[in-house]
Amino acid sequence: MPISAKLHRPIQFGIMSLSELWVGVAMVQLDLSIALEKHSEGVRAAVFENGRVVSFYLQNDAADLRIGDIFLGRISEDRLSQVGWFVDLGEGRSGFLPHNRCVKHRPEDKGAFILVQVDKEPWNQKEAELTEHVQMKGKTIIYLPYSGYVAGSQRLPEQVRDSLKRAAAAWCVDNEGVIVRTAAAKQQLQTLRQEFLNLKDQWRNVEKAASSATQPKRICRQLSFLGELFNEHHFPEHCTVLTNFLIAQNEIPEGASVRHLAETNLFRSLNIESIYTHAFASKVALESGASLVIDYTEALTTIDVNSGSMKIQKNRDEAIRRINRNAAREIARQLRLRQIGGIIIIDFLRMNHESDRQALLQQLIHETKPDPNHVQVYGFTRVGLVEVTRKRQSWGIQNQVMSMMKNAAHR
């Protein structure tokens, strides 16, 4: 059956297996699939859970700096004193190293060579953000050569997390550290320790390559674009990848089943082009005439909940509760779909009772728990707005909209 014949139903990839993700203390099983489409400016990706699209990602071919890339950089003459330093990364590339992301917490001499890792990709004419706190990422373990702390995924049950942290701490010497990932719960300690040692060896190879370099250059790219998507989604054991271009074998993560389709517009063939296009709009319709209005600024994202044409003369409190509940559910969906990151300020409809406000916060926390990126709900401010933060490093629709706004302003 051609793909177009299935467009009216959630996408079902018959060869899918189940990947297991911890959410709180419960294990949720999800079918994970990824679509990669090559277009004129780069690659766009859609991630599906149980056949429904949940996230869009973008990779710009013009950007040669990727999250996780490790460079031998050189402190340039342009520096901002106590704020940080611009770093020459070679071949016309540069990045910014904030003062609080330095290992030594002291100014570096001009012209000094340093090993840095890309922490955030460049966007909207901003430099890539760098860090000296390098992370060597594995499936179950993240090795930290300089950070000197041991942490565990918050998605692990507390007893499991504490037990794994104690075991991992015994492997570290000097300033080494480690982060125990969600998938570690399914492995034997011996397997985890072996991955720790393998990552440590990889870091030694990076140091060796850097020691022989005489100019700023990229030393290591840990993960491909597809690999980063796998990393963000906790390296699923099995995942179907649909693509309209050929992917090099060394860029295909373990567990990926790649199917190449001769489709110029893969998104349209999978019936998600309209979802992608609508995700650029500021207004998102809710049921019964209510809506969200999403606006991006340099500093933060604002989300306004509007009652719109919905009539709420009768039983006003219940109507407002219903609108806000629907809005919380859709806001959690839009954060992932658009890859919205940083500070998010939400203006829900006003509620008179503290119990209603607390119930709304608990629902928002619940709705954002499945998000693979960390979401923190801080609560209501003094003026009645809800403050949320979401960790986001990869390019998404938010970045694309901001770039389009910037370009339009310069015309």
Neighbours of 227 (CB within 10 A): 21
288 and 377 inside one domain: yes
**Contact, 113 vs 131, CB < 8 A?**
no
The domain total for the chain is 4
Tell whether 331 is covered by a domain. yes
| Confidence (pLDDT) at 268 | 94
289 and 394 inside one domain: yes
Tell whether 24 is covered by a domain. yes
Tell whether 221 is covered by a domain. no
284 and 385 inside one domain: yes
32 and 109 inside one domain: no
Tell whether 218 is covered by a domain. no
267 and 293 inside one domain: no
Average model confidence (pLDDT) across the chain: 86
| Confidence (pLDDT) at 244 | 94
38 and 108 inside one domain: no
152 and 204 inside one domain: yes
pLDDT in tens, 49-98: 999 999 999 887 766 788 899 999 999 865 566 788 899 999 999 999 99
Nearest Cα neighbor of 105 from 82, 78, 128 is 82
293 and 385 inside one domain: yes
321 and 396 inside one domain: yes
244 and 316 inside one domain: no
Q: Which domain holds residue 118?
A: 70-133
266 and 318 inside one domain: no
pTM (two decimals): 0.82
Q: Among 5-19, 146-160, 196-210, name the one with the lowest average pLDDT.
A: 5-19
Select from 224, 244, 271 the last residue of a domain: 271
Tell whether 7 is covered by a domain. no
52 and 91 inside one domain: no
In b/e form, how buried is each residue of 309-342, taking b as 16+ CB within 10 angstroms? ebebeeeeeebbbbbbbbbbebbbbbbbbbbbbb
Select from 93, 110, 133 the last residue of a domain: 133
CATH of the domain at 112: 2.40.50.140
In b/e form, how buried is each residue of 73-106, taking b as 16+ CB within 10 angstroms? bbbeeebeeeebbbbbbeeebbbbbeeebbbeee
Q: Among 79-83, 96-100, 125-129, 310-314, name the one with the lowest average pLDDT.
A: 310-314
Tell whether 102 is covered by a domain. yes
Tell whether 230 is covered by a domain. no
125/51: higher pLDDT: 51
Tell whether 2 is covered by a domain. no
